Chain A
Amino acid sequence: MNPRALAAWSLSGITIALATGNPVYRVLVLLGAVNVLVALRRPDVSLRGLGIALVVAGFIATAITTLASHTGDHAFLVLPQAIPVLGGPLTVEAAFFGASTGLGIAAAVLAAAPLSLVLMPNSLVDALPSALARTGAAIGTALNLIPGIARSATEIRDAQRMRGWRSRRVREWPDLAVPVVLTALESSITLAEAMEARGYGSGARTHYGEIVWRRADIAVCVIAPAAAVVFVALRLAGVIADWYPFPDLSVPPINVFGVMCCLAIAIPALVWRR
């Protein structure tokens, strides 16, 4: 798949998810993004961590809004007013609004996730315009250093433990942090030296493997942004109504064009194959 087309798709998904507070559209974007991730993620990638993080984020958004809002007609619990910030009625409306906010965050994150979970880390960097090619190569290289630094941090921690270092003593933390930072810097310098020795910075760069535009890429690159543009336009025109649960909880309004725009976000799962 073409990384530029996937970037356009991601941007479209994020735009729709954040352009409305209506949980129906947000759920549709979220499901479309999940569909793409499940169908196209790299074989070495697990979605478990991301899923857990999003559930936690959604729960926190719901909890904070419920505890701090105190707006709405249907209270299910009243906390004593003496409790700063939290004191007052906890309402069903605030809980739903918080959940909708969490849905928006999850949908936006899931729409961005394929950039790192579907593409190889350097693919997106390669897709940068030629004016940014050298910067992109440097970013890609820096990304490649991260696993090495993590391994080196473990090695340093183990080596220091064997010399009597104890993680419970705060005053001994520099004995771990300093060598980790110094080793990371040294690794970066060595890598920079290796890059220089291989001609990095000698002028214009090319990329291994051309970025090819296939019909499916073009379809994604046209349909997803078009859906986002139409959605935002209809939203601004008032055709797609937003949802606001206060003061009284109501069923979110649904517009068929809005639904179609959101469903278009699932298109990569239909036209791309891993």
Chain B
Amino acid sequence: MMSGSVASLEHFTYRYPGGANDALDIGELHIDDGLTVVAGASGSGKSSLLRVFNGLVPHFHGGTVGGSAEVCGHDVIATATRVLATRVGFVFQDPELQSVYPTVERDVAFGLENIAMQPRAMMQRVTEGLERTGIAHLRDRAVTTLSGGERQRLALAGVLAMRPRMLVLDEPLSQLDDDGARSVVSILATLARAGTAVVVAEHRLDQLGSIDGRMLAVEDGRVVEGSAKSARRGGDAQAFRAPSHAVSTNVAAWELQDVAAGPARTPILEGISLTGRAGEVVALVGPNGGGKTTLLRTIAGLLAPCTGHVDRAAGRIAFLPQNPMALLHRATVAAEVAWTVRGDPPSADAAMLLGELGLTSLAARDPRDLSTGERQRAAIAAVLAGAPRIALLDEPTRGMDDAARDALVNAIRRMRAAGSSIVIATHDRNLVAALADRTIAVGAGSARELAPVAVA
């Protein structure tokens, strides 16, 4: 085992329990101080690799390991995750599922409680964690009242309070708006410059453009040294821009007239008058908590407006919620798609959609066994099957790699050409650039149409 690196893997292999193939097969990998970005397609093994660094693989997930892995001087295979937790901090993708306690201050303290730190020292560390992540002002807030960006920073604060030697983050930006993502990236840059080993798996590589670092790519469980610059296709949204395929018919597919809407009959949007046309893609952009999801749910009819009227053309409405697992409950991906169109006449549409989204090889798999990005594609296939008249998609590119995003763009263009009215709530600027015929900014209680961007 080489010394000097924060983490070293040699001839390391890992296979999940019941797996037919190795999820990881790494000849030699060394992680040093500073930033390391891990890129790769959905299901390539990024998350599995990250979990080796704090021992969740193999200790939490089980399975078979071979070779050696050493992190911060500890043999990973012989050391429990809870012991490695004092040296390796881990931030998960979904900020909502990593809060343990109901208040901010208390949640930051959770890790410190676990290592039996004395209360006085704990208070100092909690303050330190909150200040380093810029959320000291949220100290007494209930976790449920925080925005997505604030929750991700809270997760980071809880980890930083432990003063880890190595920080590992699994797609920490995937659910954040631009401001939230920028604030997290700024914290990571500061940590990397200060000498912490920061390992980030992320699809939104354009957001990490401000930090100098090393790029690794994971392909079928193997790690390949790459160039950060070459992998950063994003950032230049024009790269996604294709000639417009807008076929808007001026036939209204849905219309909101002076609508006020919000959860529990408390309006967070007021005076909204919008029309969506058949054969058109409308993008809803804006900060976390700004009301994009509320607007989508109002158009869908899932949320009754407090005042005003909503009209929809006859026909099926497809709705993709933010959490793909809200949809996936059948035994296979194919069965999931078939369930949506169970009342429709037989057609090849569902099979075509599976192929279009790159799911043909996964059609017989249980959706819950798929990676995050694959699940997202399966959920999209499940809602878009059967040529809906209106398609409402809430953050459809969450956890998706570039190839999957391209496939989604093609599927939506085809639907648009077929006359569907599509509304997408997203933080993904590249997706907006590639698809949106109109862009509507939602926030501060209102929705306003943005001027079209000229195509270069």
A173-195 interface bits toward B, Cβ cutoff 8 Å, 1 = contact, 0 = none: 00100110011001100111111
Interface size bracket, A side: 35 or more
**15 pairs, A vs B, C-beta closer than 8 Å:** A44-B142, A140-B101, A148-B96, A152-B323, A163-B339, A190-B97, A191-B98, A194-B92, A197-B85, A198-B111, A199-B85, A202-B85, A204-B116, A208-B112, A209-B123
Does residue B78 face the partner (Cβ distance < 8 Å to A)? Answer: no
Residues from chain A with a CB closer than 8 A to the CB of B109 are: 208
Does residue B56 face the partner (Cβ distance < 8 Å to A)? Answer: yes
Picked from A120, A182, A199, the residue with its CB within 8 Å of the CB of B329 is A182
Q: Which B residues between 68 and 126 are near A, CB-CB below 8 angstroms? A: 80-83, 85-86, 90, 92, 94, 96-103, 105-106, 109-119, 122-123, 126
A193 with B92: CB separation less than 8 A: yes
Residues from chain B with a CB closer than 8 A to the CB of A163 are: 327, 339-340, 382-383
Residues from chain A with a CB closer than 8 A to the CB of B81 are: 196-197
A195 with B100: CB separation less than 8 A: yes
Does residue B187 face the partner (Cβ distance < 8 Å to A)? Answer: no
Given A158-B302, A163-B327, A163-B383, A199 contacting B119 (CB threshold 8 A): no
B114-152 interface bits toward A, Cβ cutoff 8 Å, 1 = contact, 0 = none: 111111001100100000000000000010100000000
Residues from chain A with a CB closer than 8 A to the CB of B325 are: 179, 182-183, 186
What is the bound-complex CA distance between A147 and B142, given in angstroms? 13
Given A162-B302, A196-B60, A202 contacting B115 (CB threshold 8 A): yes
Does residue B319 face the partner (Cβ distance < 8 Å to A)? Answer: yes
Residues from chain B with a CB closer than 8 A to the CB of A155 are: 321-323, 326
Residues from chain B with a CB closer than 8 A to the CB of A160 are: 327
The 10 closest A-B pairs by CB, nearest first: A199-B85, A208-B109, A199-B114, A179-B329, A202-B82, A198-B111, A194-B98, A162-B319, A197-B90, A159-B326
Residues from chain A with a CB closer than 8 A to the CB of B98 are: 190-191, 194
What is the bound-complex CA distance between A195 and B122, given in angstroms? 18
A208 with B82: CB separation less than 8 A: no
Q: A159-B319, A199-B82, A203-B116 are in contact. List 4 more A-B contacts (CB 8 A).
A: A122-B106, A155-B322, A199-B162, A206-B122
Residues from chain B with a CB closer than 8 A to the CB of A144 are: 99-102
Residues from chain B with a CB closer than 8 A to the CB of A179 are: 325-329
Does residue A156 face the partner (Cβ distance < 8 Å to B)? Answer: yes
Picked from A120, A156, A190, A195, the residue with its CB within 8 Å of the CB of B103 is A120
Considering only CB atoms, which chain B residue lies closest to A198 in the complex? B111
A158 with B321: CB separation less than 8 A: yes
Considering only CB atoms, which chain A residue lies closest to B86 in the complex? A199
Picked from B119, B323, B327, B329, the residue with its CB within 8 Å of the CB of A206 is B119
Does residue B65 face the partner (Cβ distance < 8 Å to A)? Answer: no
Picked from A175, A182, A195, the residue with its CB within 8 Å of the CB of B368 is A182
Q: Output the least CB separation between A214 and chain B (Å).
A: 16
B368 with A190: CB separation less than 8 A: no
Residues from chain A with a CB closer than 8 A to the CB of B103 are: 120
Q: Which A residues between 250 and 272 are near B, CB-CB below 8 angstroms? A: none
Residues from chain A with a CB closer than 8 A to the CB of B80 are: 202
Does residue B300 face the partner (Cβ distance < 8 Å to A)? Answer: yes
Given A159-B327, A198-B158, A206 contacting B343 (CB threshold 8 A): no
B111 with A210: CB separation less than 8 A: no
Does residue A141 face the partner (Cβ distance < 8 Å to B)? Answer: yes
Considering only CB atoms, which chain A residue lies closest to B144 in the complex? A147
A196 with B56: CB separation less than 8 A: yes
What is the bound-complex CA distance between A122 and B110, given in angstroms? 12
Does residue B159 face the partner (Cβ distance < 8 Å to A)? Answer: yes
What is the bound-complex CA distance between A209 and B112, given in angstroms? 12
What is the bound-complex CA distance between A149 and B128, given in angstroms? 32
Given A193-B56, A197-B85, A206 contacting B117 (CB threshold 8 A): yes
Given A163-B383, A202-B114, A206-B113, A197 contacting B56 (CB threshold 8 A): yes
Q: Output the least CB separation between B365 and chain A (Å).
A: 15
Q: Which B residues between 392 and 418 are near A, CB-CB below 8 angstroms? A: none
Residues from chain B with a CB closer than 8 A to the CB of A196 are: 56, 59-60, 81-82, 85
Considering only CB atoms, which chain A residue lies closest to B88 in the complex? A197
Does residue B342 face the partner (Cβ distance < 8 Å to A)? Answer: yes
Q: Which A residues between 18 and 44 are near B, CB-CB below 8 angstroms? A: 44
**Residue from B60, B110, B329 whose CB has the most chain A CB atoms within 10 Å:** B329
Picked from A158, A164, A206, A210, the residue with its CB within 8 Å of the CB of B116 is A206
Residues from chain A with a CB closer than 8 A to the CB of B117 are: 206
Does residue A200 face the partner (Cβ distance < 8 Å to B)? Answer: yes
What is the bound-complex CA distance between A193 and B155, given in angstroms? 14
Picked from A140, A152, A204, the residue with its CB within 8 Å of the CB of B326 is A152
Residues from chain A with a CB closer than 8 A to the CB of B112 are: 206, 208
B119 with A201: CB separation less than 8 A: no
Q: Output the least CB separation between A173 and chain B (Å).
A: 12
Considering only CB atoms, which chain A residue lies closest to B158 in the complex? A198
Does residue B297 face the partner (Cβ distance < 8 Å to A)? Answer: yes
Residues from chain A with a CB closer than 8 A to the CB of B56 are: 193, 196-197
Residues from chain A with a CB closer than 8 A to the CB of B162 are: 198-199
Does residue A121 face the partner (Cβ distance < 8 Å to B)? Answer: yes
Q: Which B residues between 298 and 342 are near A, CB-CB below 8 angstroms? A: 300, 302, 317-319, 321-323, 325-329, 339-340, 342
A200 with B114: CB separation less than 8 A: yes
What is the bound-complex CA distance between A156 and B329, given in angstroms? 10
A205 with B329: CB separation less than 8 A: no
Considering only CB atoms, which chain A residue lies closest to B379 in the complex? A159
B56-69 interface bits toward A, Cβ cutoff 8 Å, 1 = contact, 0 = none: 10011000000000
Given A120-B103, A158-B319, A201-B82, A175 contacting B302 (CB threshold 8 A): no
What is the bound-complex CA distance between A162 and B330, given in angstroms? 16
A120-140 interface bits toward B, Cβ cutoff 8 Å, 1 = contact, 0 = none: 111000000000000001001
Given A199-B86, A207-B113, A194 contacting B329 (CB threshold 8 A): no
What is the bound-complex CA distance between A159 and B321, given in angstroms? 7
Given A159-B321, A208-B122, A210-B119, A198 contacting B327 (CB threshold 8 A): no
Does residue B54 face the partner (Cβ distance < 8 Å to A)? Answer: yes
Residues from chain B with a CB closer than 8 A to the CB of A161 are: 302
What is the bound-complex CA distance between A209 and B100, given in angstroms? 16
What is the bound-complex CA distance between A203 and B116, given in angstroms? 8
Residues from chain A with a CB closer than 8 A to the CB of B114 are: 198-202, 205
B159 with A198: CB separation less than 8 A: yes
Given A198-B158, A202-B114, A191 contacting B85 (CB threshold 8 A): no
Q: Output the least CB separation between B320 and chain A (Å).
A: 8
Residues from chain B with a CB closer than 8 A to the CB of A187 are: 97
Considering only CB atoms, which chain B residue lies closest to A183 in the complex? B325
Picked from B60, B92, B100, B383, the residue with its CB within 8 Å of the CB of A141 is B100
